[in-house]
Structure formats: C-alpha cells, structure tokens
Structure 1
C-alpha cells in the first residue's frame, strides 16, 4: 500500500503538465495569424532575411521539445515534447519578419506626405490613377509600392468603389482607402476630403514624434540614475563616513 502511493503522486502533476501544454498548443493554433503585409516582387526575388528567430525555427522547436521531455520525463515526456515543439513551431512561424516591420514603419512615416501630394495632384485636375502615378514618381518608397496595385486595377477597369474598399482593408493605408471610398459612395468632393486626411495624418505623426521624444527622457532616467548613484556614493558618502570613522577611532 505504501509502495503504490508514489506513482499516483507523480502521475497527477504529469497529467496536469500535459493538459496545460495541450491547452497552450490549442490556443496557439486557434489564434488568428498576424496580418502580414504583401511582400513586393523585388523583396521576394532578392530573398529578404526572415530574421534570426524564423531563420532558426527548427532549432528552437527541437530545443523546446527537448526541454519539455526533460521537464516532464517518462512516457508523458514524449507527448509533452511533441506538443511543445509543435507549439513553438507555430508561434515562431507567426512571428513578424524584420522586413515586414521596416516596411510598415516606412509606410506609416511616408503616408502623410503621400496623401498631401495626392491631394495636390487631385486639385490640379489629375485623375486618381494619374495622381497616384505622379506621387509614386515624386516620392518613391514603400507607400508608393503599396499603392501601385491601385493604379493597375483602375487601369484594368475594376470599379473604383471596389478598389477603394479593398484598399481600406490594408492595415496601414486604410485611412486613405476609407476616405476615397466614402467620397466615391457619397458623391462628395474628393480633394477636400484628401486634404483633411493629410492634415489629420500630419498632426498624428507630430504627436507620435513628441510622444517618442518624451519617452526618451523617461527611459534615460533609469540608466542615468544607475550611473550617477554609485558615483555619488563613492564621492560624497564614502569619504564622509571614512572621515567620521577616522575621527571616532582617533
């Protein structure tokens, strides 16, 4: 009776660990993947770096599986190893590549200027497709590349309402797509709407820059404090304490 107790005590935590790992894997598989930007043809041709995390995806999965098997142990460790390895494989595969982050940052940075130039081109009498072509020539970059399919679809005769509605689903160009789609549906003037959008984006960009500038001061306080506090103790406190101890001993 005494000898049958340890297996029961050991089996309970193993079952709990396996259940937790299975639940974690189920949640990872059920979560929708992160929205990724459509990769340009040039990036695909040159073979952009997927990042160190995704580049060594198999290694991280193997290490996680080995850690799970070592932690659980026994026959249940094999199940835990498979669950952990598959979970790490899925999670790392859904991680955002550095190239995607850089492109998204470039699009958001250039979008106010792109919209302002688009409004100027529209005010001069250019059609939306021609205006986008002029903007792409004047300000080449990630935002211009992302707008190039709009020109191609409009040139092929796709309804403008469909084109702008599809652009509104873009995670970064959605404000422009919503503005153009709203103006097209309601029949309102496009130029004032685009110019208002350019002003709003410019104000938002300035606010984000100011927030980042204020955050720099807050983040710099901790390392400065860590550097200045030991110097203050060594220069101000230690000589004073040493002098007091010396006078007491004397």
Structure 2
C-alpha cells in the first residue's frame, strides 16, 4: 500500500534486518575466508542500524508533513463535497492538490472507494499511522453513522489547524533551545576567566598571604 511507519523507540523492522543480512552476505563473499566472515558480521548489524535510522527519519518527516498538510486537505475535501462531488472524487482532488505522503494515502483510499470497497475499512487502514488517525477515524465514523461528511470534516480541519500550530510552536521552541546551547558554551569560558577565577584568586591570596 505505502511505506510502513516506523514507531519511535522500537527496534529495526524486518526490511532493515533482511537488508543488513544481505549486506553481511555480500561483504563475506567479496572479502572471502575468515576475514570475510568477520567483515560480514561487522557490516551486517551496522547496515541494519543505518537503514533503521534512515527509515525512522523518513517516517518522522512524513508525520510532520502530514500534520502540516492535513488542514488544507480537509478544507479542500469540504469544498468539493459542498460542490456536490462524491467522497471518492473529493478525496482524489485533495490528494492531487497536496501531494507528498498525505496525497499518496488519500489517493490510495480514493482508488479503493472507486473500486467499490467498503468506506469504513478503507479509511481505517490509515489509522495505523498516528498522523492519519484523526482523519481515518472521522471518516470511518461518518461512514458508519451516515453523518454529513462535510460537517465532520470541517470540525476535523479546525482541530488539525490547532495541532499544526502546536507542532510549529514546539519546533520553534526546540530550535531556540538548540541555538542557546552553543552560545552558552561560547560564553562559559569567558565567564569562568573573568568572573570566577579573579574571585578564587582573591580569596586564595587573602588566605595564603600573611
């Protein structure tokens, strides 16, 4: 369907492990003999860790972009629905407009709906990803209850905008903290030399000198 999300704090998935094993085998064959076996034993786990970290970074970037794009996508779906388009067409229009990871997932759902799939499981397939959970559950509940989709999406768009603003503020605070830390390290030696050492020297001189 689309790339599996990597959950923070969990170990490498099967794809990373298999890739690491492949690297280990290739390195063992290329080097040959006992040195090749040792090289493979070292290269395999290292490759597994690198692939897992790369996948985790990509998953984090996808979640951040989905969070940022979700308000616009839901607003666009609402506009399409209010114009009389069916859910599948509104979803495909939003997918084409936003693109990226959110567009890929919406396009998949739209394809399932056009093929006649049940809307509830089609949308809930996206709920495995935390960033897609609110939209998936909202659309699934609307399909179950028969509630007007445009109304529930309008409320979701408001919630998504609030979540996006919160994420942006958190990112800005993180950047501020990261910027202050190097400045503190730069000023710390000067503070020690100009503030602490003279005081210590003065106290030591008063104690040691008669």
TM-score category (smaller protein) = 0.5 to 0.7
**TM-score, normalising length: structure 1:** 0.57
Aligned to 2:89: 130
TM-aligned CA distance change 1:32 to 1:55, over 3 Å: closer
TM-aligned CA distance change 1:225 to 1:165, over 3 Å: closer
TM-aligned CA distance change 1:54 to 1:119, over 3 Å: farther
Determine which structure has more spread, i.e. the larger CA radius of gyration: 1
Aligned to 1:167: 126
SS at match of 1:102: helix
> 2:132 & 2:142 partners in 1: Cα distance?
16
> 1:240 & 1:217 partners in 2: Cα distance?
32
* Contact 1:183 1:189 survives alignment (8 Å): yes
Deviation at 1:197, TM superposition (A): 0.7
1:125-164 equivalent positions in 2, closer than 5 A: 125-164=84-123
Aligned to 1:106: 65
1:4-19 equivalent positions in 2, closer than 5 A: none
* Contact 1:34 1:96 survives alignment (8 Å): no
Structure 1, gaps ≥5 residues long: 1-30, 37-49, 63-80
Aligned to 1:39: none
TM-aligned CA distance change 1:155 to 1:241, over 3 Å: closer
Aligned to 2:24: 58
1:1-250 equivalent positions in 2, closer than 5 A: 58=24, 88=45, 92=49, 95=53, 97=55, 98-235=57-194
Structure 2, gaps ≥5 residues long: 1-9, 29-37
TM-aligned CA distance change 1:233 to 1:96, over 3 Å: closer
Alignment RMSD (CA, Å):
4.0
